[in-house]
Structure 1
């Protein structure tokens, strides 16, 4: 399974998370109508995006990672490339969970 597919599968296990396609093939995972994970399209998905505070610097240390475009980087969003030199998957799961906690209502965050 690809990293993209694994991240998607993990994100969808979080309370009240659901997948959406707001821009053609570009997939996102939302909670309470708010995006917490950008997955990109399966064909052109060059990276994933998460909102981070605690792990922000660590995510930016991944080769090729950048603050997300369209002004999202100023709010803590990081775009991390799907590459062979990613941290272990449990670290990526931690990033997705942190992003979820930052976006989800507090009542849902407490369920984790």
Structure 2
């Protein structure tokens, strides 16, 4: 699957999370936010593949991947990880969803996480 297609599918799925909205504070990003807090920084169409998420539980494992690094601007100290794989080494959509889900749960209000959990039951 092409990187742009993968990001489009991930963005579409991310917007189905309770209270999620699109937010684009910087050129080149098309971010996902909840309660005005970004939970995923996604490269915009036409930009190189990039996903940044907050991983409070799995960041150390994620950082073992060759295309992962702590997110810049000091966010890496708070568990944010940026993934910039080259073509052919893209993570699966399911893996990307798992990372976005973890980030969403870290940033969303408890009531919205409960709403998400109720959907999954």
- TM-score after normalising by structure 1: 0.90
Q: Which has the larger radius of gyration?
A: 2
- The equivalent position to 1:46 in structure 2, one of 39, 46, 49, is 49
Unaligned runs of 5+ in 1: none
Superposed displacement of residue 77, structure 1: 0.4
Contact 2:28–2:47 (CA under 8 A) maintained in structure 1: no
Superposed displacement of residue 82, structure 1: 4.2
Q: Distance in 2 between the 1:28 and 1:21 partners?
A: 6
The residue aligned with 2:101 is 97
Contact 1:66–1:79 (CA under 8 A) maintained in structure 2: yes
The residue aligned with 1:64 is 67
SS at match of 1:35: strand
1:10 paired with 2:13, answer yes
Unaligned runs of 5+ in 2: 117-121
The residue aligned with 1:108 is 112
Which stretch has the larger CA shift, 88-97 or 56-65? Answer: 56-65
Structure whose residues are more often helix by fraction: 2
The residue aligned with 2:90 is 86
**Which deviations, in whole Å up to 9, do the C-alpha atoms of 1:15-65 show, x marking residues without a partner?**
010001101342101000000000022222331100002221232122221
The residue aligned with 2:119 is none
CA RMSD of aligned residues (A): 1.5
Structure whose residues are more often strand by fraction: 1
Which stretch has the larger CA shift, 67-76 or 18-27? Answer: 18-27
